[in-house]
Amino acid sequence: MTRPPMEAVIGLEVHAELLTESKIFCACSAAFGADPNTSVCPVCLGLPGVLPVLNERVVDFAILAGLATHCTIAEHSRFARKNYFYPDLPKGYQISMYELPLCVGGHLDVLVDGTTRRIGLTRIHMEEDTGKNVHDGETSLVDFNRSGVPLLEIVSEPDMRTVAEAGAYLRTLRSILQYLEICDGNMEEGSFRCDANVSVRPVGATTFGTKVEIKNMNSFRAVEKAIAYEIARQTDVLAEGGTLAQETRLWDADREETRSMRSKEYAHDYRYFPEPDLLPLVVDPERVAHVRARLPELPGARRERFVREYGLSPYDADVLTQRKDVADYYEAGVAEGAAPKEMANWVMTELLRIVREEKLDRALVIREWPLTPLQLARLAKLVDAGTINRNTAKGLLPRLRRTGQDPEALVAAEGLAQVSDRGALEAAVADAVAKNPKQVAQYRGGKTQVLGFLVGQVMKATGGKANPQLVQELLRAALGG
Amino acid sequence: MGTLHELSVRDAAERVRRRDVSAVDLARAALARIAAVEPRLGAFLTLDETGAVAAAEAVDRRIAAGEDAGVLAGVPIAVKDVICTKGLRTTAGSRILERFVPPHDATVTARLRDAGAVIVGKTSCDEFAMGSSNENSAYGPVRNPWDPARVPGGSSGGSGAAVAAGECHGALGTDTGGSIRLPAAYCGVVGLKPTYGRVSRFGVIAYASSLDQVGPFARDVADAAVLLEAIAGPDPADSTAAPRPVPSYLAALDGSVRGLRLGLPREYFVEGMQREVADAVRAAVGTLARLGAAVEEVSLPHTEYAIATYYLIATAEASSNLARYDGVRYGLRIPEKSLGDMYEATRAAGFGAEVKRRIMLGTYALSAGYYDAYYLKAQQVRTLVRRDFEAALARCDALVAPVAPTTAFRLGEKVDDPLTMYLSDIFTISVNLAGLPGLSLPCGADAAGLPIGLQVIGRPFDEATVLRVGYAYEQATEWHRRRPPL
Amino acid sequence: MPITRDDVRRVAQLARLRLTPAEEERLTADLGHILDHFARLQALDTRDVPPMAVVEDFGALLRPDAVRNPPASDELLANAPAREGRRFRVPKIIE
């Protein structure tokens, strides 16, 4: 029996920790890393008699996120209680939003394999984070520093069909939140969390298959692997005539598989009802306009502009606009006169390499660069003008970084300018040809790649300073081929 | 000296201010009175002799130094045990908080302290304020000072009894469905439930978030006005506390009701009411009419739905508010091997039967499949109840009514049937649903000498008119001078 | 609307209340009795009646984003039934 071709239906639910000073409902610090149970107060500990008071910056951040994703900002929204018992949930309910969220009906345009796909966004709402449970043998230890940290819950429509789309959606969303400077998007540290809803169905079907929720994915790669695994698992089960349970499964990063959470004793009935301790939230058009004025140019728009204005490939523009600070850096360099493509090259190959290696990208905004945009731009210009060759330039990077010197000054001071004088080089070329008859014969015999060796000989003889393109040109002429 | 504990709040404060009597003497007089009558009443769960004397000494020092020590300086006040007092055990009348010592003051507690009041102790109440007779305290019932075989009313029975018995000059209670007004009526004192949002709920152990309000008990209306002024007002820690300024309620008492229109809800005079109660309330209305008020009958047609509406909303909110009592961060914990067992064993041991019953009801009303038929429906009917009052109060400046269908009943008389107990809240409950201010003050006594209360209900944030009506009635009668035979 | 013993068990589980068989029986009767009284609400036509969202809507209270609470002293943890250093200790969740 032939299997009908199946397609995956993927929805993603992201929880983003917001970068406010204080928690959502109390004036405790929301900063990460304090000693256990020091950033707590009666309110976020859920002591008897306490009441929540809403942090206005959380509302503004939520509006920013909604506007950046083309949502409608609801004029009337309401917090609601989600009731369940867990040790890290101090009140026995989480203050979230249910029937009346703040933002609805947006979308994200994501670039996947060169094409743009529009992924719908169902809703964005505000809620409070829980504390942290740490297992310790036969007991658990609970720290409530994180209890009450503001979260945005961002729910996508089940519009994704491939792992690549899911990955691109996540990266795009994170990028947007970073541009807005409302979340640092760190999956490993837990400030950006993702749950996935995965189902499969025959291609062309209009109804949905059994939906499985996947949790416990702690990196972008884990999300991609988990979704891929789950699609395959579901497809196999159905192909063998089995049925799928609507359940929650956990990603096991060690075994690289999803496992069913052993069935909970009690099904979750959250008994949502409107939070009586908080009045309905009214966000009027003035507030929205005020927040809208603070929207920066968003990654998608910036990427398109880079393609248009700088003639970059969509791929390169995408890499350069993933982070706002990198995009700002790039444009600063171009403003200093570097050729756009050269600057792109230098930023992508050299700058970002250092950034990744030294984990500078952990910060929401990189403020201390290994080289300044001016330095890198001038270096790029020197190479572009043929004053030094690329190798020489690369070699200068550590020194430029250490000293903060202007590359032009350094090159001039040390006479590093490459030799582009034909006359001077002709002698060196003739010399190399004379000293390497075997390779010359090979080249003339058709083995053209041996030219590289001869170029290398000339470079050595000139202390690396010869202009390699010119050397190549002269060698070819000398060898008559 | 022997009658120091009988002074009104205003007189006590005045005499302390004038240095006619020391705050320490007042405190000691209250504590002596408590020692004398507590064995018969059981009104207090926790006494703070040391703290009270220290606070009194501090007041005396400030006054000696010529400072303004506050409008309630030196006056012994009691606080219902659902209101958090920093450093002083707060139990909510429950075993689950038997050893809980709050690290925070409720806002009303802080305001009392700022006004110089001397907090003598925490009064008993029905567990988590759930009850109408104060028989649901885990620490034993409170007895009515007028007849120890009878209930003082609930859930603020301890506060009502303490003020009636002269154990303190004033007290704070909370009222969710009548829990200040009912004990005030049964104990023959004044009790006020302010408009919802008039007084901060921060630090008040929550029963039903959209219904709870803190209010004063006192032996006369002017005292209640002074206490209300001291605790009322917006609070940055309570999103539901109204951002409205606090008028001088005391200054608004001018004793005149001439030209005021008073409404009498016809649905509040029912079959099966104790005859003496109906008569006393009608007589009180007659007095008000003689004082110049215009009285007319009004209708609150949705009255018969109020109990169901209240008990669905209150228990739903309560089921959620009481989820935090799980043995994790404070309170009772029954050690068990698994977390689930710990939760279940702790809550089974820590909560009494009435609390469990209400948690069950509320959880059911919110649960999947029942939310629309129960909780949502009740919130809709609540709107209808509110509209009834809006219509009546468009024509009238205030409404007058009984507080309860009977005078204080006997201990144990109603515990077997919870529904019967619930139905006795019929005259007070709608006022909480509508969020309106309600005052209870003495207007008579039955053949056994048990007090009868008169209820005055007003427009939102119009405590001034409510107090004015009460004051005018009070000053024209002698009921407020009666004291229990202790 | 009668409530069954199974309903009572389910609700008790949701509320994390361990009930004795006697309690279960009593509650089934009590709750059934009470819910019968509540049934009268169904007689009311509330189709166009909005649920009472708040008692008085004077606009949501918003707080400026500022840290006002100092690092917590031991006082806040003093009521803890079981602690390990500054953390609350609880039995492990057994699935």
Q: Has residue B328 got a pLDDT over 80?
A: yes
Q: Which domain holds residue C32?
A: 5-43
For residue B234, the Cα-to-chain-centroid distance in whole angstroms is: 20
Q: Which residues contact A335 (CB under 8 A, 6 or more apart)?
A: none
Residue B320, chain A, CB below 8 Å: the answer is yes
Tokens 């005859």 correspond to: B275
Residues in chain A closer than 8 A to C93 (CB atoms): 87, 140
Burial (Cβ within 10 Å: 0-12, 13-18, ≥19) of residue B420: exposed
Which CATH entry fits the domain spanning A422-478: 1.10.10.410, 1.20.1250.20, 1.20.1300.10, 3.30.465.10?
1.10.10.410
> C63: distance to nearest CA of chain B, Å?
8
pLDDT of residue C46: 95
The encoded tokens of residue B25 equal: 């003497």
- Report in angstroms the alpha-carbon separations of B334 from A174, B331, B343: 44, 10, 8
pTM, full prediction? 0.93
C70 located within any domain? no
> Is there a contact between B209 and A276 if contact means CB atoms under 8 Å apart?
yes
Residue C82, chain B, CB below 8 Å: the answer is yes
- Please say if B424 is a catalytic residue: no
> Is there a contact between C63 and A139 if contact means CB atoms under 8 Å apart?
no
Half-sphere exposure of C59 (CA within 13 A, CB side): 7
B344 located within any domain? no
Residue C68, chain B, CB below 8 Å: the answer is no
> B375: distance to nearest CA of chain C, Å?
9
Are the CB atoms for B82 and B173 separated by under 8 Å?
no
d(CA C15, CA B325): 11
pLDDT of residue B419: 80
* Whole-number percent of chain B with pLDDT over 70: 100
Residue B369, chain C, CB below 8 Å: the answer is no
| B&C contacts, CB < 8 Å | 167
> Is there a contact between B236 and C61 if contact means CB atoms under 8 Å apart?
yes
Report cis status (omega within 30 of 0) of the bond before A313.
Answer: no
> A119: distance to nearest CA of chain C, Å?
33
- Please say if B80 is a catalytic residue: yes
B275 located within any domain? no
Residues in chain C closer than 8 A to A259 (CB atoms): none
C9 located within any domain? yes
> Is there a contact between B201 and A276 if contact means CB atoms under 8 Å apart?
no
> A275: distance to nearest CA of chain B, Å?
9
B446 located within any domain? yes
> A241: distance to nearest CA of chain C, Å?
30
The CATH number assigned to the domain holding C36 equals 1.10.20
Are the CB atoms for A123 and A155 separated by under 8 Å?
yes
Q: Has residue A275 got a pLDDT over 60?
A: yes
Average pLDDT on C80-91 reads: 96
Report the range of poorest mean pLDDT among A258-272, A322-336, A424-438, C7-21.
A258-272
Chain A interface residues facing chain B, Cβ-Cβ under 8 Å?
A: 42, 45-54, 81, 83, 85, 87, 90-93, 138, 140, 142, 144, 265, 269, 271-273, 276-279
Report the chain B residue with the minimal C-alpha distance to residue A265. Answer: B340
Q: What is the DSSP string of B140-181?
A: ----BTTBTTB---SSSHHHHHHHHTTSSSEEEEEESSSTTH
d(CA B197, CA B207): 15
Nearest beta carbon to residue B204 from set A49, A93, A265:
A49
Report the chain A residue with the minimal C-alpha distance to residue C69. Answer: A28
Q: Which residues contact B28 (CB under 8 A, 6 or more apart)?
A: B53
Residue B363, chain C, CB below 8 Å: the answer is yes
d(CA A481, CA B85): 97
d(CA B381, CA C50): 9
C58 located within any domain? no
Nearest beta carbon to residue B312 from set C38, C61, C76:
C38
B424-480 pLDDT, tens digit each: 899 999 999 999 999 999 999 999 999 999 999 999 999 999 999 999 999 999 999
Chains with ≥3 CB–CB distances under 8 Å to C: A, B
- For chain A, the distance separating the N- and C-terminal CA atoms, rounded to the nearest angstrom, is 62
Task: With cut-offs at 50, 70 and 90, classify the pLDDT of residue A280.
Answer: very high
Please provide the average confidence, as pLDDT, over all residues in chain B. 96
B125 located within any domain? yes
pLDDT of residue B206: 98
Residue B92, chain A, CB below 8 Å: the answer is yes
Q: What are phi and psi of A27, to 5 degrees?
A: -95, 30
Catalytic residue among B155, B319, B424, B430: B155
Please provide the average confidence, as pLDDT, over all residues in chain A. 93
> Is there a contact between C16 and B343 if contact means CB atoms under 8 Å apart?
yes
B169-185 pLDDT, tens digit each: 999 999 999 999 999 99
> Is there a contact between C38 and B380 if contact means CB atoms under 8 Å apart?
no
B320 located within any domain? no
Count of domains observed in chain C:
1
A387-440 pLDDT, tens digit each: 888 888 998 999 999 999 999 888 888 777 777 777 778 888 888 889 999 989
> C91: distance to nearest CA of chain B, Å?
5
Asked casually if ipTM beats, i.e. exceeds, 0.95, the reply is yes
pLDDT of residue C1: 55
Residue B338, chain C, CB below 8 Å: the answer is yes
Are the CB atoms for A86 and A308 separated by under 8 Å?
no
Note every long-range contact of B409-415, with CB atoms under 8 Å and residues 24 or more positions apart, other chains counting: B409/B133, B409/B150, B409/B151, B410/B149, B410/B150, B410/B151, B411/B133, B411/B135, B411/B141, B411/B143, B411/B149, B411/B150, B411/B151, B412/B135, B414/B133, B415/B133, B415/B135
pLDDT of residue C94: 67
Q: Has residue C95 got a pLDDT over 90?
A: no
Average pLDDT on A456-470 reads: 85
Residues in chain A closer than 8 A to B214 (CB atoms): none
For residue B118, the cross-strand partners are B76
pLDDT of residue A415: 77
pLDDT of residue A266: 47
Average pLDDT on A185-203 reads: 94
Q: What is the DSSP string of A2-41?
A: PPPPEEEEEEEEEEEE---SB-SSSSSB--S-PPTT-S--
Residues in chain A closer than 8 A to C16 (CB atoms): 85
d(CA A256, CA A254): 5
Are the CB atoms for B130 and B194 separated by under 8 Å?
no
> Among residues 382-441 of chain A, which lie with CB inside 8 Å of chain C?
none
d(CA B12, CA B228): 17
Residue B370, chain C, CB below 8 Å: the answer is no
The encoded tokens of residue B206 equal: 């929550």
Residue B340, chain C, CB below 8 Å: the answer is yes
Task: With cut-offs at 50, 70 and 90, classify the pLDDT of residue A2.
Answer: low
Among A22, A24, A147, A283, the strongest candidate for a mutation testing the C interface, having the largest count of C CBs within 10 A, is A22
> Is there a contact between C63 and A142 if contact means CB atoms under 8 Å apart?
no
> Is there a contact between B335 and C91 if contact means CB atoms under 8 Å apart?
yes
> B80: distance to nearest CA of chain A, Å?
13
Q: Has residue A119 got a pLDDT over 50?
A: yes
B362 located within any domain? no
> A245: distance to nearest CA of chain C, Å?
18
Q: Has residue B348 got a pLDDT over 90?
A: yes
Q: Has residue A265 got a pLDDT over 50?
A: no
H or E, element range at B384: helix B377-395
* Whole-number percent of chain A with pLDDT over 70: 98
- Report in angstroms the alpha-carbon separations of B136 from B12, B45, B126, B357: 33, 13, 5, 12
> Is there a contact between C34 and B361 if contact means CB atoms under 8 Å apart?
yes
> Is there a contact between B240 and A92 if contact means CB atoms under 8 Å apart?
no
> Is there a contact between C17 and B338 if contact means CB atoms under 8 Å apart?
no
Q: Has residue A1 got a pLDDT over 60?
A: no
B15-28 pLDDT, tens digit each: 999 999 999 999 99
pLDDT of residue B1: 46
> Is there a contact between A269 and C14 if contact means CB atoms under 8 Å apart?
yes
Q: What is the DSSP string of A235-278?
A: HHHHHTT------EEEEETTTTEEEEPPPPSS------EE-TTS
Are the CB atoms for A215 and A250 separated by under 8 Å?
yes
Residue C62, chain B, CB below 8 Å: the answer is no
Count of domains observed in chain B:
1
Are the CB atoms for A146 and A129 separated by under 8 Å?
yes
- Please say if B256 is a catalytic residue: no
Residues in chain A closer than 8 A to C85 (CB atoms): 36
Q: B248: how many CB neighbours lie within 10 A of its CB? A: 11
Residue C8, chain B, CB below 8 Å: the answer is yes
Q: Has residue A267 got a pLDDT over 80?
A: no
> Is there a contact between C54 and A261 if contact means CB atoms under 8 Å apart?
no
Are the CB atoms for B5 and B30 separated by under 8 Å?
yes
C69 located within any domain? no
pLDDT of residue A264: 53
Catalytic residue among B80, B122, B193, B414: B80
Instruction: Give residue A70's region: left, alpha or beta (phi > 0; psi -120 to 50).
Output: left
